[in-house]
Amino acid sequence: GIRAGETEFRPGQPTPTWGFTSPATAAADRWPGTYLGPTLRAERGEKVRVEVANRLDEPSTVHWHGMHLPAAMDGGPHQMVDAGGAWEPHWPVDQPAATLWYHPHPHGGTERHVQRGLAGMFLVDDAPARQLGLPDEYGVNDLPVVVQDVRFNGARFDHGHRFLRNTGFLGDETMVNGTLAPYREVRDELVRLRLLNASTARVYDFGLADDRAFDLVATDGGLLGAPHRTDRLPLSPGERAEILVRMAPGERTVLRSSPPGGGDFWQSRFSGGDDSFDVLELRAADTLRPAPDVPARLADVELPDPADASRERHFDLRMSGINGAPMAMDRIDATVERGATEVWTVRNRDGVTHNFHVHDVQFRVLAVDGEPPPPELRGRKDTVYVPSGREVKIALRFDGPPDPDVPYMYHCHLLSHEDGGMMGQFVVV
């Protein structure tokens, strides 16, 4: 159910919010309010059917971000659910284990719907991932970390704040899973954090407060071939990553976000680039369950091969639209053939940060400004950061079921940009 309600982010101060509820969460009194949504979970090979009931007094949608599914089930702006209406999308889950998410996608209203609280995680599992022995006890050593920046005016959200017209909303504090100043007690040596940047405009550069290294094991669409040891990880809106953090008994550390790189001084300053946030504190118990070493090999990563590409396309990103035209619901911008591999070149032609998200597929980053991609961009991706001036080349394979009548979307995932028309539509035929 998509519902309006309220949430006490601070005790005694109810904030009007929207959220997804399920019969289970609605019944549990530990459910803290109407904000975000339950984590959904399915196994590769399973068929899912979701019963969506829109209890708002305005239309919305539910889009399955990162999911490979038929266009009619995608939950984009062509699958509106009326106020009081219902929708039952169903599809076979056919993709590797990954951390995906869901959120509304009404044309022109996505920022507003997500900001009020409509977002949740959707985890895909598969047997090869399970056999790796990574931390996988949900809520114990395998933690969803939905990161959002917020700004309050008394008990109410202040969504009006814009540093500059072009930036989008920037908050002055962050929440994890709808909790302010969050901490987590940890009873395992190794903790898996499933990071989701569910902010509407802010780019994070995650690290640990003491600069310790962690292992990046998965990106948007699933596991990397091998773990990547690093101490920094940028995530733009919509991107996900799974990291493994090793803890010592009794210690504390903080997942922190530093100012993101990319773009020039002014761009970074005016998009909140000076801001650091303590995002989540981890507090280790005095005795920890031992964990094995992270396996050296993680997965055979399913990636498109650019040698198979039958077509190239170019996408120039500007506030005024992609390739010079704002989104039009009745215009198809690209028609691709089922089974085709294509190479797309995405360029940011603005002085403003953007990113680029494509529905239905997980793509492969071939090059960033003509150079081979950094390790964190070598796995399956559905969203990629494209700051001012950058050029990103990607390979995509479209093997969804053909449907000439219902388009998928590609767009900037800074939601005020998307709402403002930085979106286009493609069909698979």
Strands (E) across 231-276 are located at 233-235, 240-246, 252-258
Chosen residue from 7, 37, 50, 65 binding Cu ion by CB under 5 A: 65
- The smaller minimum CB distance to ligand C2O, of residues 188 and 418, is found at 418
Cα distance between residue 362 and residue 364, in whole Å: 7
Q: Which stretch binds ligand C2O (CB under 6 A): 81-89, 143-151, 334-342, 406-414?
A: 406-414
Chosen residue from 21, 40, 42, 65 binding ligand C2O by CB under 6 A: 65
Query: What are the tokens at 16?
Result: 């009007």
- The smaller minimum CB distance to ligand C2O, of residues 209 and 332, is found at 332
DSSP state string for 352-369: S-EEEEESS--BEEEEET
Cα distance between residue 312 and residue 366, in whole Å: 13
Q: Which does 354 bind (CB under 5 to 8 A by kind): ligand C2O, Cu ion, none?
A: Cu ion
Cα distance between residue 277 and residue 202, in whole Å: 12
Helix (H), strand (E) at residue 267: helix 265-270
Neighbours of 429 (CB within 10 A): 14
Q: How far is CA 222 from CA 98, 113, 226, 371, in A?
A: 4, 27, 12, 23
Closest distance to ligand C2O from the beta carbon of 295 (Å): 30
DSSP state string for 274-289: T--EEEEEEEEEEEEE
Chosen residue from 282, 298, 327, 412 binding Cu ion by CB under 5 A: 412
Reported as half-sphere exposure (CB side, CA atoms, 13 A), residue 104 has a value of: 33
Query: What are the tokens at 327?
Result: 């989104």
Residues 88-147 that bind ligand C2O (CB under 6 A): 103, 105
- The smaller minimum CB distance to ligand C2O, of residues 67 and 284, is found at 67
Q: Which does 417 bind (CB under 5 to 8 A by kind): ligand C2O, Cu ion, none?
A: Cu ion
126-152 in b/e form (b: 16+ CB < 10 A) is: beebeebebbeeeeebbbbbbbbbbeb
Closest distance to ligand C2O from the beta carbon of 423 (Å): 8
- The smaller minimum CB distance to ligand C2O, of residues 100 and 366, is found at 100
Q: Which does 411 bind (CB under 5 to 8 A by kind): ligand C2O, Cu ion, none?
A: ligand C2O
Q: Which does 113 bind (CB under 5 to 8 A by kind): Cu ion, ligand C2O, none?
A: none
Q: Which stretch binds Cu ion (CB under 5 A): 10-18, 182-190, 366-374, 406-414?
A: 406-414
Residues 407-426 that bind ligand C2O (CB under 6 A): 409, 411, 413
Q: Which residues contact 360 (CB under 8 A, 6 or more apart)?
A: 67, 68, 69, 71, 74, 398, 400, 408, 428
Query: What are the tokens at 289?
Result: 């369950």
DSSP designation for 72: G
Write the interaction track for ligand C2O spanning residues 233-272; mark x where CB under 6 A is met and - where it is not.
Answer: -----x----------------------------------
Cα distance between residue 95 and residue 98, in whole Å: 8
Chosen residue from 63, 112, 184, 228 binding ligand C2O by CB under 6 A: 63
Q: Which does 3 bind (CB under 5 to 8 A by kind): Cu ion, ligand C2O, none?
A: none
Q: Which does 238 bind (CB under 5 to 8 A by kind): ligand C2O, Cu ion, none?
A: ligand C2O
Closest distance to ligand C2O from the beta carbon of 384 (Å): 13
Size of the site for Cu ion (CB under 5 A): 6
Interaction between residue 354 and ligand C2O (CB under 6 A): no
Closest distance to Cu ion from the beta carbon of 67 (Å): 8
Size of the site for ligand C2O (CB under 6 A): 10
Interaction between residue 357 and ligand C2O (CB under 6 A): yes
Total residues belonging to the chain? 429
Q: Which residues bind ligand C2O (CB under 6 A)?
A: 63, 65, 103, 105, 238, 357, 359, 409, 411, 413
